[in-house]
Amino acid sequence: MDDTAQATTKEVPVQAGEVALEGNLVIPEGARGIVVFAHGSGSGRLSPRNRYVAGVLRDAGLATLLFDLLTRAEEAIDMQTAHLRFDIKLLAWRLAGATDWLRTNRETRDLAIGYFGASTGAAAALVAAAERPEVVKAVVSRGGRPDLADPALPQVRAPTLLIVGGRDYPVITMNNNALAKLKVEKQLAIVPGATHLFEEPGALEKVAQLAAEWFVRFLDVKQPSPVTQTTRRD
C-alpha cells in the first residue's frame, strides 16, 4: 500500500516517560483516528507484516504510529537475553507512554486512539488499554498472547478483536480463554488455514481487512459499547 501525497509522514522521537523511542508517524489528510502498533517478540517498527497492515489502515483513512518498544541499547541486550521482549509490564508502560505523547502532540491530540498488537505486543496492548480506559477506543490482536495479560483482561474497556490463524491451535485456545474474560464488545476471528505468522497466500490481507473494519467502526465511538461476544470463521 502506498502513502498518498496528502499524507504527512515523519520519523519521530516518541517520548515514553524519560525514554525517547524511534517511531514512524503517518497521518492521511482528514484522518479522525490513529492506530498505534505494538510489535511482537524480537520485532520492531520495521516489521514487514505490521507495515503492510498499517498501509491498509491508511488506505481506510486512519493515521498510524509504528515505534520501537525498546531503545537500541535495550534491543542489544535483548538480542542476548531475550527477556525484555517478554516483559509485558515494561512494554505496556512504553505503549501507555506513547499514548500520552500522542495526546499532547499537536498533530495527533484530537485523533481517537486504537491499538494493533501482534504476539506479545498484543498482551502489552491489552494491559495498556486497561491502564488508559478513557483514551483507547479499540484493540486488535494478531496472533496474540492475551494469556500474558490475563489479570488486566476484565479491566479492558475498548472493543477488542482477536484474530488467530486456523492452524495456530495453541493460540486459538489462549484467545478463546481470553475472550471469555473480556467484558466489552469482543470478537474472535479465525482465518482458515493460517499459521501463527499468517504467511499463507491471502492470510495477512484478511487480517488487514478485518482490522481496518474494526478500527473504522470503533474509533469514532464516544460511549462505551455494550458487551457482545462473537466468533467467526472467514
pLDDT at 199: 93
Report phi then psi at 23, rounded to 5. -140, 160
Q: Does residue 55 have a pLDDT over 60?
A: yes
Q: Does residue 52 have a pLDDT over 80?
A: yes
pLDDT at 47: 77
Tell me which of 11 and 171 has the higher pLDDT: 171
pLDDT category, 4, cuts 50, 70, 90? very low
Q: Are 190 and 210 in contact (CB under 8 A)?
A: no
pLDDT category, 72, cuts 50, 70, 90? confident
Tell me, what DSSP letter sits at residue 84?
G
Q: Does residue 67 have a pLDDT over 80?
A: yes
186-201 residue pLDDT tens = 999 999 999 998 999 9
16-28 residue pLDDT tens = 878 888 889 999 9
pLDDT at 168: 96
d(CA 93, CA 60): 28
pLDDT category, 41, cuts 50, 70, 90? low
pLDDT at 43: 61
Q: Does residue 150 have a pLDDT over 80?
A: yes
Q: Does residue 234 have a pLDDT over 80?
A: no
Span 8-233: which CATH code? 3.40.50.1820
Q: Does residue 44 have a pLDDT over 70?
A: no
DSSP 95-142: HHHHHHHHHHSTTTTTSEEEEEEETHHHHHHHHHHHHSTTTEEEEEEE
Q: What is the dihedral of CA 66, 38, 98, 34, to 10 degrees?
A: 60
Q: How far apart are the first and last CA of the chain?
A: 23
- Whether this prediction's pTM lies above 0.85 is answered by yes
Share of the chain above pLDDT 90, in %: 68
Tell me, what DSSP letter sits at residue 18?
T
Question: Domain-by-domain residue ranges, the chain?
Answer: 8-233
Least confident of 38-52, 105-119, 136-150: 38-52
Q: Does residue 53 have a pLDDT over 70?
A: yes
pLDDT at 12: 86
